[in-house]
């Protein structure tokens, strides 16, 4: 891994020199665009609208337009900002970990000690672990001031950048303002369905099915060319489930029954698929949430 930033974590008079590394990477297959007529690769050029010339990247500045005036912002201007010059990850407070809503999380970075002695690093790590707190920090990274959470992950300090409060949209849905009556029996059946799907979180059991199928498609086309029979490669496409509305109670009962027929924890994935297929038939939000569970866990991440 290549360090993307070097500086120091500071809390009080304690200074912890560190290097910052991206903790995640994209596993998607890289595709590019081509002309459908001849396969020629599509290229994009940066063209000046005034003189029509292609502009090299090193000759491109940024600008802000308020509707009446435009100001040019150069790289030198940006580098002159005080926040951009800072090489500190400043701890501003320690908060209970559970108080940070996951919706606030953005990117994750590993911190590596960057000094002859890792004592200060280990001290900060063990302090966070024993107090069960997360440090809220401020830092400058890639020409932006960042708010971030500093915590411990598998004995390594991790910085997770946070969205600013005004970057999280309010969920104002009028459809949720209307009162909805849920019976005790419906709630009980819903809880039973949840209990039938309870397990310990293990991210390694889930795979990105779309990317796997895309790689299979690429390998098959490399071998067979445009004569590829996709039906022979992937099978016939499944028929879409009908959108008919069935009784919510019946959807819950069928989901629980499908899970029981699957047979305990070993059939967790199959039971979840059966449950989601049944619940997909219902127009209510309760059953659609069950269907969404399988879809969301089979994705990337985005």
Q: What is the pLDDT of residues 191-211, one digit of tens each?
A: 999 998 889 989 899 899 989
168 neighbors 103 (Cβ within 8 angstroms): yes
Query: Buried (b) or exposed (e) across 107-129, using 16+ Cβ within 10 A?
Result: ebbbbbbbeeeeebbeebbeebe
Residues 169, 103 contacting (CB under 8 angstroms) = no
- Report d(CA 185, CA 174) in Å as an integer: 27
Q: Where are the domains of the chain?
A: 5-26+81-164, 181-233+241-297
Structure tokens at 301: 């991440």
- Segment 147-189, tens digit of pLDDT: 999 999 999 999 999 999 999 999 989 999 999 999 999 999 9
Q: What number is the average pLDDT over the span 1-12?
A: 91
DSSP 161-226: EE--GGGSPP---GGGTS-----HHHHHHHHHHHHHT-----GGG---HHHHHHHHHHHHHHHHGG
Share of the chain above pLDDT 90, in %: 52
**Residue 119 CB contacts under 8 Å (≥ 6 apart), including other chains:** none
CATH architecture label of 5-26+81-164: Beta Barrel (2.40)
In this structure, are residues 278 and 251 in contact, taking their beta carbons and an 8 Å threshold?
Answer: yes
277 pLDDT exceeds 80?
A: no
State mean pLDDT over 19-42. Answer: 93
């Amino acid at each position: 891994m290549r360090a993307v930033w070097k500086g120091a974590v500071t809390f009080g008079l304690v200074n912890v020199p560190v290097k910052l590394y991206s903790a995640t990477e994209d596993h998607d297959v890289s595709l590019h665009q081509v002309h459908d007529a001849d396969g020629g690769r599509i290229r994009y050029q940066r063209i000046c609208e005034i003189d029509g010339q292609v502009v090299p990247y090193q000759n491109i500045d940024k600008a802000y337009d308020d509707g009446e005036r435009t100001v040019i912002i150069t790289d030198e201007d940006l580098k002159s900002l005080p926040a951009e010059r800072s090489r500190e990850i400043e701890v501003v407070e320690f908060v209970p970990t559970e108080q940070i809503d996951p919706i606030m999380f953005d990117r994750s970075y590993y911190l590596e000690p960057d000094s002859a002695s890792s004592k200060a690093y280990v001290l900060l790590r063990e302090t966070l672990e024993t107090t069960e707190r997360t440090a809220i920090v401020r830092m400058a990274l890639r020409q932006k001031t960042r708010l971030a959470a500093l915590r411990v992950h598998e004995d390594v300090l991790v910085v997770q950048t946070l969205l600013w409060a005004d970057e999280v949209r309010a969920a104002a849905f009028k459809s949720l303002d209307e009162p909805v009556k849920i019976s005790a029996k419906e709630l009980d059946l819903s809880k039973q369905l949840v209990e039938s799907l309870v397990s310990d979180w293990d991210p390694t059991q889930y795979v990105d099915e779309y990317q796997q199928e895309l790689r299979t498609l690429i390998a098959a086309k490399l071998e067979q060319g445009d004569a590829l029979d996709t039906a022979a490669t992937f099978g016939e496409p499944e028929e879409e489930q009908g959108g008919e509305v069935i009784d919510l109670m019946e959807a819950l009962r069928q989901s629980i029954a499908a899970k029981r027929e699957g047979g305990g924890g070993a059939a967790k994935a199959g039971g979840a698929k059966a449950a989601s297929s049944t619940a997909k038939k219902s127009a209510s939000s309760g059953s659609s949430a069950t269907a969404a569970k399988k879809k969301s866990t089979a994705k990337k991440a985005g």
